[in-house]
Structure 1
Amino acid sequence: MSGITIYSSAYCPFCIRAVRLLDSKQVPYQLISVDGKPAVRRVMAEKAGRTSVPQIWIGERHVGGCDELYALERAGKLDPLIAEYQ
């Protein structure tokens, strides 16, 4: 897997916040909606070990959800991680 992948839901405020952060960095990402797609959510849950959204991967690294993405940003670690896969 390369780049950034986000499993999300259209009505999830945490998903919206995560996408806004990535949009502010002007980086491409693949957005995979789980809305009305139990099979897609099941695949996400198997990969992430979690059923909540968003679930975010940068390259092969499972970052976690919105809180973890923002924690990386606050620690100054998000940009270098993104740069590895762009």
Structure 2
Amino acid sequence: MKKVTVYTTTTCPYCVMLKNFLREQGIPFTEVNVQLDPAAARKLVATTGQIGVPQTKIDEQWVLGFDQETIMQL
């Protein structure tokens, strides 16, 4: 089983769509709300160089945005 972590904010509609998509596919995930966790937000930007959300980490690979195809491939 791959480890899936979704980085979100409270107000991001694509984050909601991504979480719903993962639930519909039966893919368990951990959510990190970077709006509520500034330390996680800084770490995310330092790691990926991206400030946008959603960002999804699948094992050690990153997917930027709500990219269903890439998520399912990984």
Amino acid at match of 2:17: R
Q: How many residues align?
A: 73
Under a length normalisation based on structure 1, what TM-score does the superposition of the two structures give? Answer: 0.74
User: What CA RMSD, in Å, does the superposition of the two structures yield over aligned residues?
Assistant: 1.6
- 1:14-65 CA distance string (max 9 Å, x none): 1011111101011111100112332211111111210111111111111122
Unaligned runs of 5+ in 2: none
Aligned counterparts, 1:57-68, within 5 A: 57-66=57-66
What is the percent sequence identity of the aligned residues? 27
Amino acid at match of 1:7: Y
Unaligned runs of 5+ in 1: 82-86
What residue number does 1:47 align with?
47
SS in 1 for 2:35: coil
Under a length normalisation based on structure 2, what TM-score does the superposition of the two structures give? Answer: 0.84
SS in 1 for 2:10: coil
Name the larger-Rg structure: 1
What residue number does 1:18 align with?
18
Aligned counterparts, 1:59-78, within 5 A: 59-66=59-66, 69-72=67-70, 78=72
Bigger proportion of residues as helix: 1
